[in-house]
Amino acid sequence: MYCRSVTTARNGHVLRALAILVAISLPGIWGCAPTNVQPIGRSTVVGADDDERTLIRRADEEDEAIRSRGLLLPDEPLQSYLAEVGNRLVPELAGSNARFGFLVLRDPMVNAFAMPNGSIYVNVGLLARLQNEAQLAHVLAHEISHVTLRHSLKQYRSTKNKVVAAHLTDVLLGGTSIAYLPYVAAIAGYSRAAEQEADMAALTLMSNAGYRLEDAYGLFAVLAEVNSAESLLGSIYASHPGDQTRIQYTRRLIEEGFVEPNPEGVTGTEEYNLYKPRFLDAAIDLKLRAKHYQLALNLARQALEEAPDNPRFHYYRGEALRLAAGDPEGAAKEHAWIKGESYRPEMLSSFRQGSVTRNDEALTAYRAALALGDDVPEVHRGLGLIAYSRGERPAARSALSRYLDRAPDAKDELYIKSLLEELVEP
Amino acid sequence: MTILDKLRHCRYGVVVLLCGFAYGCSTPKYTTVREHPEFQESKAQFKSLAVFPPDVAFQHLVFNGDHQSVPEREEAIAHELAALLPGLLAARGYEVKEFAFEEQAESDSDFAFEMSQLRDAYGRVSIELYDRALVKESESRSFDKSVGTVVNQFCARAQADGLIVTRYYGFDKSKGMRAKEIAAAIAFAALTGSYPMYPARGSAVEVAMLDCVSGDVLWTNAKSNQADNTDVLDWALADLPKI
């Protein structure tokens, strides 16, 4: 029994060592299983195999969920403009069943994404950051290229391979779950190679549509200024190679003659500026709803630089300041999130101390909005709520009543009426 | 021989029992419930409640990682939860006001968006409410969180004092996934001598009552279960104070 157990123990060590060796090598073998997929070209039938059919079915379901949850920006001219620019970029795919659709999402994050059924979504948060149509064209061309290069299908197969490899490794390592750690990063977003491939293909599409290629650099510079907290893991911004690397890579492609530079190409600044205030308006509103006070304030400031006479942007500036003043904990947490730090309760004190000043600045912003015309009823709500928070009852009652007079269908009517009842003189 | 028999024969039995009781009395009780500091005093004001459509996600977990949503299950569970909630709330003394939120959303994309916004707002608050699963009962009445006035428009339509928001997550596993977990458990047992248990299915629910005027989260509870049905809702609401 003793000898047997020694032998068993020795064999156990050997077996365990073997298991670990197999466990280490298996992911390499399995993770590299071929994921050859041909790009969509003329006469390509999209959805000819089970994997692609599955992806397209799910994308169709997601399209429907986005629509039914009201997540499409309800602004027909903006949606039409995006579709117009997108359709100009779609390559000639005669004989193929590939279809493309371009839609603006009511989402404040800086992001755009493509689905394998050809639906391309651009968040209004990204559109608010762009400077001209050529930059938009690059975003759309990049996403179109993800579809035509079938990156979702490649990613889908690669992810399945990696997860299966991780499971097998996990069993061999005794179910400790350590095996999953290396795969978490590996399956998040497209690979760097796929992103570079899409950047390269995007330049060709931009060139074919007559856009100025140099504006691709401008896009990366704009993205570089966006705080990483504003983009999502796996988004066009966060998962991409560093923006400097992308600028260098794109410049090299042009210099090496992969695509002809076209300094006379279309930039489309004027066209884009016709729509940009509406993109900014929607993006700031959504940021405020998401309690991104500082990010909303930054965007409102940017909007005021571009349109200093727009009362809504003054109102948004006031709202961002007032809401931050009324929610110092939320503002402190947002500050930590933007800085990439962990929230610590001691951060709260400086935000509490700054509340009075923020409310004063908010009042100034609201008054600036009123000076440009009494077109934004919510300005009166802001004035009334600050007066209420300061115990200035007559001023609060007057401003809140004005708000309800000017916005009889206000969505927060219940709350405002409850305050007015409370403010009734005894 | 039972433990009590052993203790009876043990001269230290009484001492052990007394220590046990003393420990039981001094150990703080923990709970998954969170309450607004003013809820106990003001709960009578929230007699009428509207039930917001439950937010349901159900996944079929598979070996190759390509976990699939199961829309039919999600729809069935959402329907079941919505049907159960009025009875469970009525049993605790609340009056349930009916409003067809989903029908309204189908014809009004802005209303649908506002519904999504409320779900997002609650999702953000929930992260703060449940940064840990259990809190001491003494701490459970100190949660002052709000989803904001986005809640107003729903309550105004339903003419209610409070809004019940429900989130449900459920899963089951494929045979391949189960086989992998059994193999991993055997391997783990061979290495450590202990055999981990992986549930084949499960569910979790979070139910919250929101103040229709301020959007304050008045009361919330979260429960989980190793079954992919709606039993967990009953458990979660069992802790809701009666009025």
Smallest CA–CA distance from A19 into chain B, residue: B187
Place of tokens 């001598």: B193
Contacts of B182 in chain A (CB under 8 A): none
Mean pLDDT of A227-231: 68
Helical segments of B130-174, H only = 152-158
Let me know: does B167 contact B205? Beta carbons within 8 Å: yes
Tokens at residue A153, please? 């299908």
DSSP A108: -
Q: Which of A74, A160, A167 sits opposite B110 (nearest CB)?
A: A74
Mean pLDDT of A207-234: 79
Contacts of B163 in chain A (CB under 8 A): none
Count of C-beta atoms within a 10 Å radius of residue A48? 9
Does the beta-carbon distance from A159 to B105 stay under 8 Å? Answer: no
Sheet holding A101-105, edge to edge: A101-105, A119-123, A112-114
The Cα–Cα gap between A134 and A128 comes to 14
Q: Give the number of A-B residue pairs with CB atoms closer than 8 Å.
A: 96
pTM to 2 decimals? 0.83
Q: pLDDT over 70 for what percent of chain A?
A: 83
Angstroms from B64 CA to nearest CA on chain A:
5
Per-residue pLDDT of A58-107, as tens digits, reads 999 999 999 999 999 999 999 999 999 999 999 988 788 889 999 999 99
Q: DSSP per residue over B169-195, as a string? A: EEEEE-HHHHHHHHHHHHHHHHHHS--
pLDDT at A47 over 60: yes
Does the beta-carbon distance from A412 to B149 stay under 8 Å? Answer: yes
Does the beta-carbon distance from A163 to B65 stay under 8 Å? Answer: yes
pLDDT at B102 over 90: yes
Let me know: does B55 contact B237? Beta carbons within 8 Å: no
The reported pLDDT for the residue numbered A6 is: 36
Tell me which residues of chain A have a C-beta less than 8 Å from any C-beta of chain B: 61, 67-72, 74, 106, 156, 159-160, 162-164, 166-167, 170-176, 187, 289-291, 411-415, 418
Q: Mutate one of A53, A343, A404, A415 to test the B interface: name it (highest B CB count within 10 A).
A: A415
The ipTM (two decimal places) reads: 0.80
Residues in a beta bridge with B210 = B163, B217
At A263, which amino acid appears? P
Q: pLDDT over 90 for what percent of chain B?
A: 71
Q: Which of A74, A162, A170 sits opposite B184 (nearest CB)?
A: A170
The Cα–Cα gap between A422 and B149 comes to 17
Per-residue pLDDT of B32-50, as tens digits, reads 999 999 999 998 899 999 9
Q: Which of A72, A164, A289 sits opposite B64 (nearest CB)?
A: A164
The Cα–Cα gap between B237 and B222 comes to 9
